[in-house]
Structure formats: structure tokens, C-alpha cells
Chains A and B, each alone.
Chain A
Amino acid sequence: MAVTLDRRQFLKSTAALGGGLALEFSAAGTALAQVGGPISPLEVTHWIVIKPDDTVVIRVARSEMGQGSMTGLAQMVAEELGCDWSKVSTEFASPNEHIRRKRIWGSMSTGGSAGIRTSQEYLRKSGASAREMLVSAAATDWNVPAGECTVSNGVITHGASRRTTTYGKVAAKAGQLEAPKDPKLKEPGQWTLIGKSVGRLELPDKVSGKPIYGVDVRLPGMMMASIVQCPIFLGKVKSVDSAAAEKMRGVKGIVKQDDFVAVVADNWWRANQAAKALRIEWDGGKYANASDETIRAMLKEGLEAKDLPSARKIGDTDAALASAARVVEAEYDSPYLSHAPMEPMTSTAWFKDDGTLEVWVSTQNGEASIAAAAEASGLPLEKCEVHKTQLGGGFGRRGAPQDYVKQSVAIAKQFPGKPVKLIWSREEDMQHGFYRPASIVRMKAGLDADGKIVALKSTIACPSILALLRPEGIDKGIDFTAVRTFSDATYTIPNQQVDYAMRNGHVPVGFWRAPGLQNSFYRECFIDECAAAAGKDPLEYRLAMLKDGDKNKAVLQAAAKAAGWGTPLPKGVYRGIAQSDGFGSYTAMVAEVSVNPQGQVKVHRVVFAIDSGYVVNPDACRAQAEGNVIFNMGQLHEAHHLKDGRIVESNFHDFQLPRMAEMPVVETVFVPSGGFWGGHGEPGALNVIPAVLNGVYAATGKRVRSLPLKDGVVA
């Protein structure tokens, strides 16, 4: 019996933001033997497998792309389980089994810095349940009350009778027991693993070059595919002359689709050489003339449009602006940016002789991948399996779209019985992204006689990510990812209006690291402008607009204190500050910056304060902060330009990422206040640009309102 499911809805609802889905599967348990094998008999709970030798396998539903969730999620389970951490390994939960077991592992989406914060409760409970079941199994064997038994490092002890056993010995029996509904969880003060910087479990493989990424998959008789997609978004293939390509060494076939042509060969270089020899005529369609100018005109028109929907309306902003002692006004903008993970898009598909399809892929969402595989193959979900690998970076690119999975399935479908690995060239990756949207924002602040902001009107013209990838998430014309930081600012400004002009164009947009982060740049630099206009210290100015008890205020104070705000700096070095919350956490940043006479910006030191409620693996969180700083400093120089409907930049020579010399010292200050769980993968991204550019202003008196820096310098 096939699964009946609206796949389109499934795709949308498994998009990068994920979480809280309620999908009904009518899957019967009849197809259990098809793919993925039987359910492990060694399961204590569906998250935990304990083997007779006491080794523990903890299942992970989210993906590992370097953020450390695979270890952090396992830490939370192991904390409550009470096992020996040195005996823990992890495995990714099988998407096929997940579907057959009615989504037993919850969301597989890995985005929005949500891995830990949205699964912590059920994971900790799973560990606690298993512990109670294991103790209960031992106590039953010994015929003693479970309450008299203690647990330490996977050893169960009954002190009174001096008996001990291990988890491995009682696991099979424990797995037969009913899981307790509401197991008792430890208090934060009792944690010994949560909060500890244990080494990330996959690092030994990563330093020794083990083939752990999607791009490394090797299967018997495998062929390789290189793809050429229509360079003009939404364009089509008009004609292909593949005569020369077909004659090249190693070429096994050419696959022609509406919007791409792929060459399949016995190795990737040969496939790619032949792909370069294809002569393709494209039908660019109606966007063949789109350019930076047409995009800018589209956004500017949005700023001027009447009757825009408001994402926030407090007080009477227009009236307050009209009566303000002084009005500060500015327009800011930023460009399209690609994710450019170091591992290009890749997916391997194999239509097997038994009528099933297996896919190996670096994915941020195993469910979205299996849905994409089913959609592209026409097979029911139950006949598909997705093998999740380590990701060579994700940053949002490998979550919602799944375009490369669909392509690899379409290509492999032409070669039944043979595995085909699709690897995009870097050029394809740069020119076929789901880009961080370009946007323009106009802000107008009314200041009273003391310089305090009494009104703030923000008009945001920005393509909508949700319109493309998750349209049901749009609420009354508002895409929250386009208006955040303005629509939810906690500054106590009595009159606020945030208007949104959704102007989409043809360039695909997607969830980049910290979707909507450009608004932190706009807001926090503009607040700095207001502070300067008021003649106030930027820190004091912000603190005066934040209520006591607002966690944003506490992190701002923590960052300022750790950075020594107000204390002397070496000659030529200046500080900038910014604060924003997002992805469940509250953050503030101070950047120490100098600008040389040529206008080149150097960031020396960054202090980052974060309140994420709790911290699971401090070192992994520090690594996220360090990564966020340099990743986002890249925005000073990165941009994608549009010409003749296509992206101009094609590789790292013209889309330059930061290198070693640019890396500043990064200090992370944890101020977890408890009572909630926040993320770490993206919150550190929010304040980098505003803190740095506010430092640039302090150093030069020049406001940078448009990124990237023109000619790479502050002029």
C-alpha cells in the first residue's frame, strides 16, 4: 500500500525552518522489508541502541554540517541516560524508517539554529526514560525495588545486596518494557555532560580525510554526472548539440531536461570536460534582460509604493515624526549573496533492480530529501531511502530547495540499476544558488529635544524567501524573515511602523545563514546614526531604550564590560557596538576596528555576548561564534551582480571569501540565564556587520550604508 501524501505540501512543510509539523501518513506496516532493513532489536528507545558490549549508539535526526549538533544532541541524551560517554557513538536516523514509523524521530530539519533548542525536551526525556527502563529491568532481575538502585557511567548498582550489572546486559530486556510517560529530568545544577566541551565525535574522521561527505560516496559500478543549468533563472533549454561531447572518452550518456543538460561519464573530470563541450542554446524567457539596475528599480518602486502591509504598528508614527524636534533619515542596501559551502552541491542516486531508489546526500533535512527523491522518481516514499552523510557546509543551501537531489534522481532514472553521482561544478554552485535576498531599507527616526527616539518608521523592500520556499508561512503579505529585527525590536520607542514591500523578481532567494540578518545591519547602524545625531554614547543610548529585565540589555552590558567599553585602545583602533536577538538567543557584539589611510578596514578583536538560556557544548558554541564573525565579515566585500538575467560571479576569484589574514581574535562571553533554550549557529551572525561598521564610523566619521564596500574601501 502506497503512502498517500501531498508531496508538494510535504516539501514545503519540511523546509529549513522546520519544526512542529503535523503530517498524517496512511502508511501501513506492510512494506517494512523494502529499504533500510528491520527495526533494530537492540533499541531501548527509538533514540538509543545499547549493545551487549555496553557500547551505546545514539540516533541523531538532524544533520551535522560543522555546527556540532551531532555531538550536542547526543550529549543531551547521554546526560539523562547516565551512560559512559566514552562508549557513545552516533548514527543518523534513517529517513525511510522514519516515515515507516510515522515520523517517530520528529523534525529532521537542520536550520534556524533549532537543532538543540527544538528537540532538547524529547531527547532528554528519551535518555531519562531509557535509564528508568534499564534500572527497572535490572531491579526486576534482582527482585529489588528500582528506587534502591543507582546508576553511574552505564553501571547499575544495588548497594544493599552489592550487586552490579551493566546497561549492555539488561538492554534487551529493558527494550521490552513500556517507556515511562513522564520520566524525571535532572536539574541544570546536576548536569555533568551538558555544559561540557567534550570533543566533537566526528573530528577524528575529519582530520584524517575519511570519505564522509556526500561528494565522497563510492558505489559499485558508479558513474559521475556533471550538470549545466540554464544560466538565466527560469529559462529553458532550447536546443542541445551533444555530438562532440558524446564522442569524448568515458562518456556514458547525455541527459536533457527542461532546464538543464547533464553528462554522465566514468569519472567526474571526464563528465565535466564533456559538459563544457556541449553546445546549448538557451531560451532565457522574459528575464533575459534582468540586471542590477532592474533589481534596484524593482526595490525602489517598492519603497515608494502606497498601502504596503505593516509588520508592526505601534502608536502614530507619522504624527510623531511630524512633531519631532529632529528627524534622522537614511537608506541602506545590501546585495544578493550565495552560500558557497566548500562542498559543492552533490547527490548520488541509484534505482535498484528491486524497484527501490536509494540516495546518498549531504542534506540539512533528510525528510525534505526523501520527499524530493520520491517526487522526482515518481516512487512512493516508502520505496525511497536517503543515506545522510556529513555536510561540507550548509548555511541554509542544503535545506529547503533540494534541487540537486531532484536533478540527481532525474539523471539516474535514465540509468536504471546503476548508481550515478552528481557533483555541481563551483561555477554551477555560484550561479544557481538560493541567494540571500538583496534589499533596500529606508528608515526615518523622530528624535525629541533630548535626542531620544520617539518614532521610527522603516520601509523594507526585499524579495521573500517564504514566497518561494514556504508560501504558507506568509501572513497578511508579511514574510517574517524579511522584516525581523524591525518587527520585533525591543527598543522602547513609543511610535513604530514597519512596512514591507515584497518585490520578488526572478532571482531565487533562500535561507542564508541567519535569514534576515541584513536587518540587523540596517537597524543597528541606523540607531548608531541616531546616537551620533543626539550626541550620545552608542552604548548608553541603546541601554536607555531597553527595559530592565530585557535580556538584550543584559547581553549588551555583558559585551560592553568584557570588551572594556570606554577604556583606552591602541592608537587608531576604535570600537563599534550592536545588539540583536534572534534564533532563540540574545546577543551583543563589540568590534575593535581600524581603517588605514587607503580606507581598508581591519578588525582586530570581537567580543560576543550571548544568552542562549543554556549551553550544551561551550567549545562548539565558541567555534560557531568565531565562524559567524569571519563568515559575516565577508559581507564587506562579497556581492553577486546580475547581468543579462544571470549571475556574473562564477568562482572564488570573483566572489572572494575572507582568508586567514582577516581573522580577528574572537572572545565569546556566555551569560545563559536559564528557562529557555536558544540557538548558536546563527545568532552570532547578526551583529557582525553593524558592530564593525559602527567601529568604522568611530574611526573615520564615515557611514557605510551600502554593502559591499565600493572598491573594497571606506571612501
Chain B
Amino acid sequence: MKLNVNGRVQDVDAEPEMPLLWVLRDVMGMEGTKYGCGIAQCGACTVHVDGEAVRSCVTPVGQLEGRKIVTIEGLGGGRGLHPVQKAWLEQSVPQCGYCQSGMIMATAALLAKNPKPTDEDIEKGVTNLCRCGTYGRVRKAIHSLGGQKVDGAPKAVQAPNGQTLA
């Protein structure tokens, strides 16, 4: 079958029931999309199909011929980092980082439809799991992308031990 991934149409030898996640990772050699649960619970495998955030671990590849698939590797469209990725760096969002491909893809899909999401919109639109607990920074990064003013780095302070914390 032919798959359109990140703007390139490629021939793929896979049974139609194989989830897109494993086609991407093990057949096409693109490991940016992650396996976390296999049952659409965690969102680590989130990619875009025709612009929609989709959990690729439960999406049989047979449904996807002729559809446009975008993964974390192609999010920037070949023009460097996507604004969501840049905001992620500005807010130092990732800890272990494993869930972040999915988190970023879910965010990019949300913002494409709703450029200024509220906290509630974010909670409904980005339902991914992060075990490290980066949710506060995810929220902050999304608000910064929505044009909200978010707190910058705290001011430098002199600590009781003599060191300067900046």
C-alpha cells in the first residue's frame, strides 16, 4: 500500500490491520512516535491524520491510504521547528520527554482549530498522560502560543548560602 507521511508518498509492505504506530516505527524507521499503552489511553503515539490528532496505536494502517499523515518528524514541514516545539523549549517543558512527541502533536492540532484555548479547552484537547508531571508547563506553553502573557523566569535572588540563583 501507499502511505503519505510527512508529504512523501511511500510504498509500505504491511498488513492492513497493523496499527499505524508500528508501521511508522518498525516498517518505516521513524521512531519519534512512541508506544505507551497500545489502547489509546496515553497519547504518546499521537500523530495527525488529515490535520486531526489521532492515536496511532489503535489506528489500522489499512484505513489510511490517500490520507495525509504528519508525525513529529514532519511537524515543522521541513522549515525547522514548529512554533509548538519552540514554545516547548522556551518553557523547558520536557522532563524524560517520552510523552512529548504526542503532547506536541496533540497541542498543534488543538491550536490549529482553536488558537486561543482556555484551560478547559486545553484539558479537553490535550488528554495525554505524562508520568513526570509536565502538565503545568504544557499549559503555560500553550497559553504563550495563544498570545497570553505568561510568567517569565523568576528574578535572580541571593540565597542564604551566598550563591546567586538565576
Rounded to whole Å, the gap between the CB of B41 and the closest CB of chain A is 4
Q: Is B48 an interface residue (CB 8 A)?
A: no
Given contacts A218-B29, A626-B136, A630-B135, A672 and B159 within 8 Å (CB-CB): yes
Most A C-beta atoms less than 10 A away, residue of B27, B36, B104, B160: B36
Most A C-beta atoms less than 10 A away, residue of B18, B31, B104: B31
**CB <8 Å contact, A206 and B100:** yes
Quick one: which of A196, A205, A393, A674 contacts B131, CB cutoff 8 A?
Answer: A393
Closest to B18 in A: A269
**CB <8 Å contact, B159 and A670:** yes
Q: Is A213 an interface residue (CB 8 A)?
A: yes
**CB <8 Å contact, A341 and B96:** yes
Quick one: which of A205, A215, A269, A627 contacts B133, CB cutoff 8 A?
Answer: A627
Q: Is A614 an interface residue (CB 8 A)?
A: yes
CA distance A561 to B133 in the complex (A): 26
Contacts of B133 in A (CB 8 A): 626-631, 658, 663
**CB <8 Å contact, B97 and A670:** no
A-B contact pairs, 29 of them (CB 8 A): A66-B94, A187-B162, A199-B89, A203-B92, A203-B94, A205-B97, A206-B97, A207-B104, A208-B81, A209-B32, A216-B31, A267-B27, A342-B99, A394-B96, A426-B38, A619-B153, A623-B95, A628-B133, A629-B133, A651-B37, A651-B38, A652-B42, A653-B39, A658-B133, A660-B128, A661-B123, A665-B136, A674-B163, A675-B161
CA distance A163 to B44 in the complex (A): 54
Beta-carbon contacts of A643-673 to B below 8 Å, as 1s and 0s? 0000000011100011111110110001111
Given contacts A267-B26, A629-B133, A631-B133, A209 and B33 within 8 Å (CB-CB): yes
Q: Is A249 an interface residue (CB 8 A)?
A: yes
Given contacts A268-B22, A615-B165, A618-B165, A342 and B129 within 8 Å (CB-CB): yes
Closest to A627 in B: B133
Q: Is A204 an interface residue (CB 8 A)?
A: yes
Instruction: State the main secondary structure of chain B at its contact with A.
Output: loop
- Considering only residues 121-135 of chain B, those with a C-beta below 8 Å from chain A are 122-123, 126-135
B residues with a Cβ closer than 8 A to A are 15, 18-19, 21-22, 25-27, 29, 31-39, 41-42, 44, 71-73, 76, 81, 85, 88-89, 92-101, 104, 122-123, 126-139, 153-154, 157, 159-166
Beta-carbon contacts of A234-271 to B below 8 Å, as 1s and 0s? 00000000000000010000000000000000111110
CA distance A631 to B85 in the complex (A): 24
Closest to B98 in A: A392
**CB <8 Å contact, A615 and B163:** yes
Given contacts A392-B97, A426-B38, A631-B132, A191 and B164 within 8 Å (CB-CB): yes
A residues with a Cβ closer than 8 A to B are 65-68, 187-189, 191, 194-197, 199-200, 202-213, 215-216, 218, 224, 249, 266-270, 340-344, 390-395, 423, 425-426, 613-615, 618-620, 623, 626-631, 651-653, 657-663, 665-666, 670-675
Rounded to whole Å, the gap between the CB of B150 and the closest CB of chain A is 12
Contacts A188-B162, A218-B29 aside, 20 further interface pairs with beta carbons under 8 A come to A189-B163, A195-B164, A199-B92, A208-B73, A342-B129, A342-B132, A343-B96, A393-B98, A618-B154, A619-B92, A626-B137, A628-B133, A631-B132, A652-B129, A659-B123, A659-B135, A660-B123, A660-B138, A663-B139, A672-B163
**CB <8 Å contact, B161 and A673:** yes
**CB <8 Å contact, B94 and A206:** yes
Contacts of A211 in B (CB 8 A): 31-32
Given contacts A209-B73, A652-B129, A392 and B96 within 8 Å (CB-CB): yes
**CB <8 Å contact, B85 and A66:** no
Rounded to whole Å, the gap between the CB of B87 and the closest CB of chain A is 9
Query: Which 6 residue pairs are nearest across A and B when measured between Cβ atoms?
Result: A209-B32, A674-B161, A392-B98, A206-B97, A66-B96, A66-B95
Rounded to whole Å, the gap between the CB of A259 and the closest CB of chain B is 23
**CB <8 Å contact, A197 and B42:** no
Rounded to whole Å, the gap between the CB of B145 and the closest CB of chain A is 13
Closest to A341 in B: B131
**CB <8 Å contact, B81 and A207:** yes
CA distance A673 to B25 in the complex (A): 48
Rounded to whole Å, the gap between the CB of A27 and the closest CB of chain B is 34
Contacts of A340 in B (CB 8 A): 131
Closest to A191 in B: B163
Closest to B94 in A: A206
CA distance A9 to B138 in the complex (A): 43
CA distance A134 to B134 in the complex (A): 41
**CB <8 Å contact, B166 and A197:** yes
Given contacts A207-B94, A267-B22, A195 and B129 within 8 Å (CB-CB): no
Quick one: which of B97, B123, B139 contacts A390, CB cutoff 8 A?
Answer: B97
CA distance A393 to B98 in the complex (A): 8
Contacts of A218 in B (CB 8 A): 29, 31
Closest to A427 in B: B38
CA distance A627 to B94 in the complex (A): 11
Quick one: which of A189, A342, A623 contacts B36, CB cutoff 8 A?
Answer: A342
Closest to B164 in A: A195
CA distance A391 to B131 in the complex (A): 12
Contacts of B104 in A (CB 8 A): 207
Closest to A210 in B: B32
**CB <8 Å contact, B89 and A674:** no
CA distance A654 to B137 in the complex (A): 26
